[in-house]
Amino acid sequence: MSLKIAVCIKPVPDPECYDRITIDPIKKTLVRKDIPSVISSADKHALELAVQMRERHDGSISVFSMAPPEARAQLLEALAFGADDAYLLSDRRVGGADTLATSYALSALIQHVGHYDMILLGNESDDGATAHVPSQLGEWMSLPHMTDAVGVRVESDSAVLVDKEFETGIARYRVQLPCVIAVRKTINDVRYIPVKNFFAAKRKPLTVLGADDLALDNAYIGLNGSPTKPGELITPQYSRNTVPIEGTDEEIAQAIIDKIKIYM
Partner 1 sequence: MWYMTEEREMLVKMLREFAEKEIRPAVPEMEKGAYPRELLKKLGQLGLLGLVVGEEYGGSGEDWISYGLMLEEFAKVSSTFALLTDLSSDITIGLIHKYCTPEQVEMFVKPALRGDILLSFYSTEPCGIFNVSEYETRAVLDGDEWVINGGKIFSTNSDVADVNIIACVTADKVDPVTQEGISWFAIPASDPGYSVGHIENKLGWKGSHTGQVYLNDCRVPRNYQIGPLNKGVPLLTANLVPGYCAYGAFALGSMEAVFAKTKGYLQGRIQGGKSLWDTHQVIRNDMANMWILIENFRGAVFSALENRNRGENIFNQAIGLKVEGEKLMEHVASQCIELHGGVGTVYETGIERFYRDAKMLSVGCGSNKTLVDLLSYFI
Instruction: Report the nearest approach of partner 1 to the CB of residue 210 (Å).
Output: 22
CA–CA gap between residue 87 and residue 27 (Å, rounded): 28
DSSP 194: P
CA–CA gap between residue 230 and residue 25 (Å, rounded): 11
Task: State the sign of the Cα–Cα–Cα–Cα dihedral 48, 51, 57, 60.
Answer: positive
Instruction: Report the nearest approach of partner 1 to the CB of residue 32 (Å).
Output: 17
C-beta of 36 vs 230, nearer to partner 1: 36
C-beta of 166 vs 192, nearer to partner 1: 192
Contact 220, 211 (CB under 8 A): no
C-beta of 135 vs 197, nearer to partner 1: 197
State the binding string over 179-208 for partner 1 (x if CB under 8 A, else -): -------------xxxxx-xx-xx------
C-beta of 108 vs 201, nearer to partner 1: 201
Number of shown-chain residues binding partner 1 (CB under 8 A): 14
Q: Treating both helix axes as pointing N-terminal to C-terminal, what angle do 41-57 and 72-81 enclose, rounded to 10 degrees?
A: 30
Instruction: Report the nearest approach of partner 1 to the CB of residue 196 (Å).
Output: 5
C-beta of 173 vs 198, nearer to partner 1: 198
Interface with partner 1 in residues 4-43 (CB under 8 A): 38
Q: Which long-range contacts (CB under 8 A, 24 or more apart) does 74-79 make?
A: 74/9, 74/11, 74/37, 74/38, 74/39, 75/9, 75/206, 76/201, 76/202, 76/206, 77/39, 77/193, 77/201, 78/7, 78/9, 78/39, 78/47, 79/201, 79/202, 79/204, 79/206
Count the residues in the chain: 264
Instruction: Report the nearest approach of partner 1 to the CB of residue 73 (Å).
Output: 7
C-beta of 37 vs 62, nearer to partner 1: 37
Instruction: Report the nearest approach of partner 1 to the CB of residue 80 (Å).
Output: 6
Interface with partner 1 in residues 44-83 (CB under 8 A): 73, 76-77, 80
Instruction: Report the nearest approach of partner 1 to the CB of residue 154 (Å).
Output: 27
Closest CA to 7 of 110, 104, 132: 110
Q: Site residues (CB under 8 A) for partner 1? A: 38, 73, 76-77, 80, 192-196, 198-199, 201-202
